[in-house]
């Protein structure tokens, strides 16, 4: 097994190098046979990656502790599902997963029916193969997944308890699918520039790839936040941790890209901007991987210190410098073919403002993340940048983006007249102001919360009017029933209405953020057996402290009977788990959820006489984060599902079409 598993890595590295070289040679000599040989090698490369990852799954499931990776991240008592998910618990395994996804994407693009006979395919494949060469090099010589120990241990070290959570089964997989997925539009963009194809063909062909990558990044961030909320025991969902930021930054720039490409498709504008955005998004995925694996910043999510960071930094520098060189070499061509804005009050302008806000948010996160490194390099002291900085900077940016999202649907392309602005915005604006006044009357005194909810009301109204006016116009033409008209309207405009559903999802998430950040309540109290804790409308009676054993783990738990406004909600058990093969215990919180708020209970400490210390929080509007997250997923899937490429014909310059 040892020889077979390692052979898949080394042979894969050799095939990746061969595919890159032979495809590059085929492109330069316009030799179709060489190009086809390089494409055929992609199949062998994918098989090698698949066999390598299947080999690792087998070793993990079978508890083959003679392998260093299996020993470091599993134990015999670990459930099979967590033995398998230990694949992405360490550097070597997670990079193996990354490489598998990369070869899968490369294979799908190279043999895509939509790209058959397209001269861009060899260039796209060569760029993706350059990535594959790097990752197979890392697996072959730096972070080797199949290393044998000198002696066979009887037991493994076990998996970090924080990773033994359903969220961590899905979170890394979706995140990596998003990270790797952004390499595809990057490869398309670079290929289009190399071929001097400055039309929007590459954008139309990568639309689905980009949305899919964006969707997986969204899922990765959502599952990561949900994991942090239920597993870390601090009552929050986003701490602006460096590794959280690493996955959030490319999400922001990819979001900006998805919006700005619509302007290029419709108005032939922002070509240089769009290329720049996809370069930045791709670079940020590499930067995030550098942060996770370099050990330069402390994070609960990061892997152990290693020398991998230097390799990723070098590769990122080469990729970015190469991409910028290609962009600058085609700068005049892109500039000559670009359209211009005709009005500042138009849909195009709102898209551009939205882009600037998204990129500004990404830059603020980037600066806050690297500032400790900059301060240490310049002053010799590492300054910590925490929640207050990020919340203070990002909150107004978020509200500004929400306002742009609210007004954008009702703006016209090219130019909006004063008459149309009054007609479209008078009623939504009045209703939003009325809503803000009602909130003040009801006792909401925090200015940012009132403004935030007012903007959300405006967004809901403008988006409702978009659906309403579309259905009304369709019914006028077809005489269909309202629900039938709505269904057919949305089906025929998937991208548009899928985007609106995503907007509504983001509005719900913003509701949850505003509520949980501005109106949360917390208490920490030590009580004797039979004592109680009161917070807001809740009373928690402390009935019992006990312990139990599950396998090699000891669990201390408390029974709490919870009442709300005098009505019994049930008995709940917050726990503290002590793992037999791990030094640090973990908290298993008790959460009582409703659409209005969450009651969050943590068993913090206890004494021999039965006294126990509990942390109790009330987190308003928390469930709206998860409702909004589901809507984002639904909207993205709706926009991309069964979408048509259309009759797009690329314009080729200086390249023989038979090289495909």
What is the model's pTM? 0.92
**For residue 105, pLDDT beyond 80:** yes
**For residue 511, pLDDT beyond 60:** yes
**For residue 270, pLDDT beyond 90:** no
Mean pLDDT of the chain: 89
Q: Which residues contact 330 (CB under 8 A, 6 or more apart)?
A: 193, 196, 198
A 10 A CB-CB count for 618 gives 22
DSSP 21: H
Question: Cα dihedral angle (140, 143, 145, 150), rounded to 10 degrees?
Answer: 100
Given pLDDT bands bounded at 50, 70 and 90, which one contains residue 289? confident
Coil/strand/helix, residue 519: coil
Structural domains of the chain sorted by starting position, each given as residue range(s) with its CATH number in brackets = 1-160 (1.20.120), 410-517 (no CATH), 521-622 (no CATH)
pLDDT in tens, 305-338: 567 888 999 999 999 999 999 999 998 888 876 6
The 3-class SS string of 555-595 reads: EEEEEEEEEECCEEEEEECCEEEECCCCCCCEEECEEEECC
Average pLDDT of the residues in 209-217: 95
Q: Which residues contact 147 (CB under 8 A, 6 or more apart)?
A: 67, 68, 69
pLDDT in tens, 583-621: 888 889 999 999 999 999 999 999 989 999 999 999 999
Look at residue 347 in the predicted model and tell me its pLDDT. Answer: 81
Exposure string (b/e) for 310-321, b if CB count within 10 Å is 16 or more? Answer: ebbeebbeebbe
pLDDT in tens, 37-82: 999 999 999 999 999 999 999 999 999 999 999 999 999 989 999 9
Given pLDDT bands bounded at 50, 70 and 90, which one contains residue 415? low
């Amino acid at each position: 097994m040892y020889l077979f598993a390692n052979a898949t890595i080394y042979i894969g590295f050799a095939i990746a190098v061969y595919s890159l070289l032979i495809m590059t040679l085929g492109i330069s000599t316009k030799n179709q046979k060489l190009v086809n040989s390089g494409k055929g090698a992609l199949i062998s490369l994918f098989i090698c990656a698949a066999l390598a990852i299947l080999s690792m799954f087998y070793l993990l499931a079978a508890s083959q502790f003679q392998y260093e990776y299996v020993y470091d991240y599993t134990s015999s008592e670990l459930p099979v599902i967590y033995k398998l998910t230990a694949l992405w618990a360490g550097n070597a395994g997670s990079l193996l997963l990354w490489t598998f996804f990369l070869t899968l994407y490369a294979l799908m693009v190279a043999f895509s029916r939509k790209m058959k006979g397209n001269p861009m395919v060899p260039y796209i494949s060569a760029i993706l193969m350059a990535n594959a060469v790097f990752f197979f090099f890392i697996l072959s010589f730096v972070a080797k997944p199949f290393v044998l120990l000198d002696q066979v241990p009887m037991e493994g070290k076990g998996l970090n308890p924080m990773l033994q959570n359903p969220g961590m089964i899905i979170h890394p997989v979706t995140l990596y699918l998003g990270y790797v997925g952004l390499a595809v539009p990057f490869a398309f963009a670079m290929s289009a520039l190399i071929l001097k194809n400055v039309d929007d063909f590459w954008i139309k062909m990568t639309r689905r790839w980009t949305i899919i990558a964006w969707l997986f990044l969204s899922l990765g961030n959502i599952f990561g936040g949900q994991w942090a909320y239920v597993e870390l025991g601090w009552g929050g969902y986003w701490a602006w941790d460096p590794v959280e930021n690493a996955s959030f930054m490319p999400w922001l720039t990819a979001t900006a890209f998805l919006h700005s490409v619509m302007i290029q498709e419709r108005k032939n504008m922002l070509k240089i901007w769009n290329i720049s955005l996809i370069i930045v998004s791709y670079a940020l995925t590499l930067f995030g991987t550098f942060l996770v694996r370099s050990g330069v910043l402390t994070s609960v999510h990061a892997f152990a210190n290693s020398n991998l960071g230097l390799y990723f930094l070098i590769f990122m520098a080469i990729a970015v410098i190469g991409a910028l060189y290609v962009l600058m070499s085609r700068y005049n061509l892109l500039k000559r073919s670009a359209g211009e804005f005709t009005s500042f009050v138009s849909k195009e302008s709102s898209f551009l403002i939205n882009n600037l806000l998204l990129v500004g948010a990404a830059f603020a996160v980037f600066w806050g993340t690297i500032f400790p490194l900059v301060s240490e390099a310049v002053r010799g002291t590492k300054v910590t940048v925490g929640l207050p900085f990020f919340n203070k900077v990002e909150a107004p940016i978020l509200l500004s983006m929400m306002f742009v999202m609210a007004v954008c649907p009702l703006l016209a392309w090219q130019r909006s007249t004063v008459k149309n602005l009054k007609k479209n915005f008078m009623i939504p604006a009045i209703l939003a102001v009325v809503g803000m006044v009602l909130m003040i009357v009801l006792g909401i005194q925090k200015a940012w919360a009132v403004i935030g909810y007012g903007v959300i009301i405006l967004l809901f109204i403008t988006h409702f009017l978009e659906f309403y006016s579309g259905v009304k116009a369709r019914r006028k033409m077809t005489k269909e029933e309202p629900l039938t008209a709505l269904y057919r309207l949305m089906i025929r405009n998937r991208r548009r209405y899928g985007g609106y559903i995503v907007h509504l999802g983001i509005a719900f998430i913003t509701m949850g953020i505003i509520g949980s950040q501005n109106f949360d309540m917390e208490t920490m109290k030590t009580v004797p057996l039979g004592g109680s804790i009161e917070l807001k409308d809740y009373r928690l009676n402390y009935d019992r402290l006990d312990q139990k054993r599950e396998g090699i783990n000891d669990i201390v738990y408390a029974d709490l009977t919870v009442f709300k406004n005098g009505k019994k909600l049930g008995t709940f058990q917050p726990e503290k788990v002590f793992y037999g093969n791990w030094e640090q215990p973990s908290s298993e919180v008790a959460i009582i959820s409703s659409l209005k708020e969450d009651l969050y209970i943590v068993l913090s400490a206890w004494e021999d006489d039965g006294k126990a210390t509990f942390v109790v929080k009330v987190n308003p509007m928390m469930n709206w984060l998860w409702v909004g997250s589901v809507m984002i997923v639904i909207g993205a899937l709706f926009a991309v599902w069964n979408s048509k490429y259309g009759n797009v014909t690329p314009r080729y310059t200086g390249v023989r079409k038979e090289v495909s």
